Structures are given as C-alpha cells and as structure tokens.
Chain A
Amino acid sequence: MHRSDGEPYPLTEAQAGLWYAQRLDPDNPAFNTAHALWIEGDLDVAAFARAADRAAAEAEALALRMDDSEAVPRQWVDDACRPAIERVDLSTRDDPDAVAREIMRGDRLTPIDPTRERLARQCLLMLGPKRFVWYLRVHHFATDGYGMALFGERVAELYASTEGGAPLAPLAQVLDEDAAYRQSERRGRDAAYWRETMAEAPPPTGLEAGPETAADDCRRLIRPIDTTLREGLLALAESLGQPWPDVLTALTAEYCRRHADAAETVIGVPCMGRLGSASARVPASSSAAVVTVAIAASSCAATSAGSVPGGACTGRWSTCSRFTGRCAWRGCEPAWRSSAPARSTT
C-alpha cells in the first residue's frame, strides 16, 4: 500500500512518538505488544491456520515496513512481511506449558529493529491433542491493544465461518485521517492548548525517590477484591454519577499522592483516540494519548473522584477544553495537564 501518488506514507503522529522513544532506547522491548490465547478442547488446526492467515492478509498494519534512510522515517505495506501463522509442536516435550511460556517470554522480550525486522509474528503452539496457545506479538508501531483485540475477534469470526462478516477496514483510512489532522488548523490550536496547560508540569516521579525511567517490562497481578470494598466502590460511583473505573482511578491517584507525600499528584489516564474515527475498525497504532490529570491534596478522595473525568478527554485533545468547563460546573477545579505519546496499548 502506498499513497495515491505511489510514495510511501510518513509515520502517523502516534507512530512518530513511539519511533523516537524507541530510537532513544533501541534495546528496550517494551513496545512489543503480545497476546496469548490459551485454547482447551477440539481445535481444527488447519481451519484455525487458514483463519489466522486470512485475517493477517486483511490487517495491513501487521505487514508494515519502515525505513529511515531518508530525512524522515517512512512506511509502506510489504506483503512479504505478513505474519503467516507458524505451527510449533511442543506436545512431546516434558512440560509443554512451561516451554510455551518460555518461548513467548523470550520472543516478547527480544527488541525489534523496525527497519530490518518484521513487526509482527503469530504462532500456534501445540501443547497436546486438546491444548493450544495462539501467540501474537506485534510491535506497537503496527498496532495497539485495541487493534490486537480487533484482530483476535476477526480470526475467531473467520474460524467460525469462512463466509464470516466484513473484512478488517483498510489502513489507508487511518493514515489519511492522520494526515488531514496534521495539516488542519485544529492541530495548531490543540498543541497550543496543551503547551500552555503543561507549562508548569512537574517532572515525572514514582513511588520511590528519584527520577522515573521506563521499564523494559511490566508485571500484572490479578486479585479479587473483597465484597465490602466492591460494594463501597459501586455505591460511591453511583452517588458521584461516575463509572466505577473512574472512581478507582481517582482513589489510586490519591493513594499515590499520599505515598509520595506531595501536595498534588499527576496521573496518566489513557484516552482512546479511536472514538468517532474510521480507526475504530482498523488494527493500527492509534492516536491514543495519555492525558494526565492533576489531583490536589485538598480534595478528599470522593471529591477527586468527582473531578476526574477518567478517559473523558476523547477524540482529539481539544475536546478537553470542554471538559475543563464541565468540571468547573461540578464545583471542582481539576488542573488538566499534558499529554504525551502513549506508552500504553489502549
């Protein structure tokens, strides 16, 4: 895929942020986004492979190639880079589950040079006659978590029925939309808004003293919360008229503020850039931003929950100015702070 004039595309705004972040730290594999789907039961392996390959043929972003030999980095879709599914038989190994986890971990933690290597890979790891893992790893240049989910749903749809549904939407829609925004007057207004809002932003910190740097990997711990806390959270959300994830975000921010013993804390809230955009149907690296919200010490947890619009800054960032008004109306005074290229995969 090239532009209508046959030239490669420039990077989108979202990609450009990631590009320079990766260039600053080329050995950091943090931009490898990966999904593993554990499948138990009868699987028609040939049919699954056909579905996965067909979805990969539709998802143009997974076959992007990048080049930075010119003044600015450029990209185009190269059919040779499409991630055809690799079948890996681990069923005769001693502990197939452990081997599979080790393969996936090793792949995910291997940094990619986007100018030389493929951005995407998918494998079907066969652990036994009724046990499989479908592993998909894509560099964040090519897609984000939402795009991964779209891709997964498409594979499932094609596996269920070869007639199945509409193909994934073309990448050009996303690239053209991004190009139009970059040339628009609105982009200048948005940039001015955020520069002004961020003028006095403090440097990033963590819970521990010292400057915060990006990690190579992240950890996730899933634990159920007890009934009392759950009910309390839902009741508080109801009384504030806010979705519970927003309230939980506010409470987490207050927790961080207390630990940092700071007058205020600024937290990053992923903001989905796909709403109201053709990109809602395209696996790609979207214009998601991390919008940061400042929470002051003077507000008790409940009030700050009321003032946190959560991912409320939607679409392009300029809609935030409307939100400032909304929050004032709610009797709070949240300070909106910056937005930076997202490291999240929202």
Chain B
Amino acid sequence: MTTDNASLTLERLRDDVARMLGESPEMIGDDENLLNYGLDSMRMLNLASQWSGEGIELQFADLAVSPTLIDWWQLVQRQRHRNGG
C-alpha cells in the first residue's frame, strides 16, 4: 500500500475542493460546511477517488458525516498515523 501521502497538506485539500466547486481557495474557511458551497455526493466521490489515486484512502462515509476541511484534514492525519507515516 502506498503511504507516500506526505505531499497532501491542508492547503492542497483546500485547493482541490475549491477547484471541484468552482470557488477560490481563500473563500473556503477551515470549518465551513462544504455543502454550502455546492458540494454533493458525486463531487465528494470524485475527490475521494482523486485522493485515493495518490494513496490516501478516505472512506466515503467518514467524509460524508462531517464535510468540512478541518474534519477531512483530521481524517488524512489519522490515516497517516495508522500507516506509521
């Protein structure tokens, strides 16, 4: 399993999400509900599969429970911790 996800930062997450939603990254606050920016299940799946391609396996259900950048970032860090990274 690839554990080389060190390149993913909170800012990269923000950029990816912003691009998917057609917003500027600086518009999206860490704890803002991404649903308010038009995030939907299809776009969430697209993001999850994009990150999965980079070795970051995030469960859809975990992303869906709390769609904010800060909570997604915690999921990334937890996965990194589990992988011993």
Instruction: List residues of A whose CB falls within 8 A of some B CB.
Output: 150, 241, 243, 245-246, 271-272, 274-278, 280-281, 309-315, 319, 322-323, 326, 346
Contacts and interface: CB of A to CB of B under 8 A. Distances in A.
Contacts of A323: 38
Interface stretch (B7-15, B40-48, B72-80): B40-48
B1 interface: no
B41 A272 contact: yes
A322 B33 CA distance: 13
B64 interface: yes
A224 B7 CA distance: 35
Interface in B43-73: 43-44, 46, 61-62, 64-67
Contacts of B28: none
A243 B46 contact: yes
Contact of A276 (B33, B42, B46): B33
A275 B36 contact: no
A276 B41 contact: no
A314 B64 contact: no
Given A275-B35, A276-B66, A276-B67, A312 B61 contact: no
A243 B65 contact: no
A276 B22 CA distance: 20
Nearest to A312: B40
Interface string B14-35: 0000000010000000000101
B64 to A, nearest CB: 4
A346 B35 CA distance: 17
